[in-house]
Structure 1
Amino acid sequence: MTFDRVREAAVVPSAFDQDASSYDRLVGANPGYFDHLRRSAARLGLPGRGAGLRLLDVGCGTGLSTAALLETYPEAEIVAVDASAEMLAQARAKIWPANVRFVHSRAEELAAHGVAGPFDGILAAYLLRNLPDVDAGVADLRDLLAPGAPLAVHEYSVADSGAAKAVWTAVCWAIVIPLGWRVTGDASLYRYLWRSVLAFDGVVRLQQRLRSAGLEAVRVEPMDGWQRGIVHTLVGLRPM
């Protein structure tokens, strides 16, 4: 399968713009979707209710990952960022406390939009796979962390398992792509989702990327249900 990461990444925000109004409805049909985001938020391992902490939710979409962070660390300051203006509009339309704010920016352009560290934790959910340069993206996120702070990457990764690739393809073509077509009238975003996951790193390679960026104590945590072996949390710490 041919997959041009740079070309695809250039059009991803507009694809999400097109389907933003139906996004929550579609992912809501995925068993465990929000619970898995909460698990990745909790796997940051931050103390208590997050009082006094600054957290970054990069690739926040319609705010589901933001809600997972808020539920886990309700007293933290949360900055949530997304490249899709329409996805961000859906997020902003929800009710949020004063400690949550949203910023429209590509992950590669955070500084230009006033997003500056240090952060006490970063959640990147379904983000790295959509970046034009994954290594540069991880390095940028590392630089935004305070010393000793964690990055949690919540991502699809099936390349290391034939069984996981088969399950992913079966679910996409039997459920995800037809449902996307039925709800939106255009399944291109969901075909992209299928292709991009198959073309992305296996867990071993993704761990290597985090370590090569200088993150320490990198670990992988699984999910359950049909996404076991398909969605993972990878956590690494910026050195002290």
Structure 2
Amino acid sequence: MARESRGRGDERNPGRWRVRSRRKQARPAGGDRSGYPVLGGFERAAGRYDLLVGFSPGYHGALLRSAARLRLPDGGRGLRLLDAGCGTGASTAALLRVAPHARIVAVDASAAMLRRARRKNWPTTVEFVHACLDELDQAGVRGPFDGVLASYLLRNLPAPERGVRLLRGLLAPGAPLALHEFSVRGRPSSRLVWTVVCWAVIIPLGRVVTGRSGLYRYLWRSVLEFDSVPELVGRMRRNGFHDVRVGAMPGWQRGIVHTVLGRRPPREQN
């Protein structure tokens, strides 16, 4: 994806979009987020994050594939979507590409990443909210949503199982969730490729671009330790999703990055 999709501009400032955003009130931006130990790394890396991922071949295209796999009808017309863990807005842009007529709520726990996202040009149908996944209700973000995209989120949560349940609870009956995630466990060749890419490219480049390497060493290690694809599928099914399936990525990301999709059942017994 070379450019972010754009719609009708702000008449008072034709060159930019207005971004409606709500600041989370339940916990200050500088408050204790000890349950999210990696958050500080994202805060420090936010200023150069877009530059760094720009060096990753296929990064934006993979996000677009996962967003498209939600199979949202009619360009999202009349739908309300959630981008959970939006970071600096790359996944939000992917959702906007596949659903230009939807209303999109993009949330992230990192204030610094959201500041970068808000500086970009967006239609008024996109709203950014600063909040952790388990505090969305206090931030005024409530379901039901007609679809959720969660990109590289579950691996960074302190309790992934609870995260899946929370995401399910935000969905309307029958609505889809797309988990866009790294997963190499149980695949020796994928683990090897991932380790080579990290230590030959990602970690050295991260150190050069940001002056630090801790976040990128964490990235390497956390992916090795995270769920296998069958374990991710199991998490989805165990927490009430049906029609669970997996989508692969092309290029170097094959066997490393996946879309794991599921739907909240259209009818559920009490």
Q: Is this a same-fold pair by TM over 0.5?
A: yes
Identify the residue that residue 136 of structure 1 maps to in structure 2.
Answer: 162
**Residue 247 of structure 2 contacts residue 259 of structure 2 at CA under 8 Å; is this kept in 1?**
yes
- Kindly provide the CA deviation profile for residues 29-65 of structure 1, in whole angstroms up to 9, marking residues without a partner as x: 0111001100000000110211100000000000000
Secondary structure of 2:74's counterpart equals coil
Q: Does 1:183 align with 2:213?
A: no
Q: 1:61 to 1:174 in 2, by over 3 A?
A: same
Identify the residue that residue 4 of structure 2 maps to in structure 1.
Answer: none
- Distance in 2 (alpha carbons) for counterparts of 1:157 and 1:223: 12
Q: 1:36 to 1:110 in 2, by over 3 A?
A: same
- Kindly provide the CA deviation profile for residues 63-121 of structure 1, in whole angstroms up to 9, marking residues without a partner as x: 00000000110010000000000000000010110000000011121111111000000
**Which consecutive unaligned segments of at least 5 residues does structure 2 have?**
1-32
Secondary structure of 2:40's counterpart equals helix
Counterpart residue type for residue 56 of structure 1: L
Secondary structure of 2:165's counterpart equals helix
Matched residues, number = 234
Two-structure CA RMSD over aligned residues (Å): 1.1
1:63-212 equivalent positions in 2, closer than 5 A: 63-212=89-238
Counterpart residue type for residue 101 of structure 1: E
Counterpart residue type for residue 39 of structure 2: P
**Residue 72 of structure 2 contacts residue 98 of structure 2 at CA under 8 Å; is this kept in 1?**
no
More helix by share: 1
Decide which structure has the larger Cα Rg and report it.
2
**Residue 160 of structure 1 contacts residue 204 of structure 1 at CA under 8 Å; is this kept in 2?**
no
Q: Taking structure 2 as the reference length, what is the TM-score of the superposition?
A: 0.85
- Distance in 1 (alpha carbons) for counterparts of 2:257 and 2:35: 20
- Distance in 2 (alpha carbons) for counterparts of 1:182 and 1:155: 25
Identify the residue that residue 33 of structure 1 maps to in structure 2.
Answer: 59
Give the 4+ runs in structure 1 shifted more than 6 A.
none
Of 21, 31, 43, the match for 2:47: 21
- Distance in 1 (alpha carbons) for counterparts of 2:191 and 2:104: 34
- Distance in 1 (alpha carbons) for counterparts of 2:77 and 2:161: 31
- Kindly provide the CA deviation profile for residues 123-173 of structure 1, in whole angstroms up to 9, marking residues without a partner as x: 000000000111100000001000000000000000020000011001000
Of 70, 78, 96, the match for 1:52: 78
- Distance in 1 (alpha carbons) for counterparts of 2:208 and 2:156: 24
Secondary structure of 1:235's counterpart equals strand
- Distance in 2 (alpha carbons) for counterparts of 1:88 and 1:12: 16
**Residue 50 of structure 1 contacts residue 73 of structure 1 at CA under 8 Å; is this kept in 2?**
yes
- Distance in 2 (alpha carbons) for counterparts of 1:10 and 1:34: 25
How much does 1:11 deviate? 2.2
Deviates more, 1:55-64 or 1:7-16: 7-16
Sequence identity percentage = 61
**Residue 157 of structure 1 contacts residue 230 of structure 1 at CA under 8 Å; is this kept in 2?**
yes
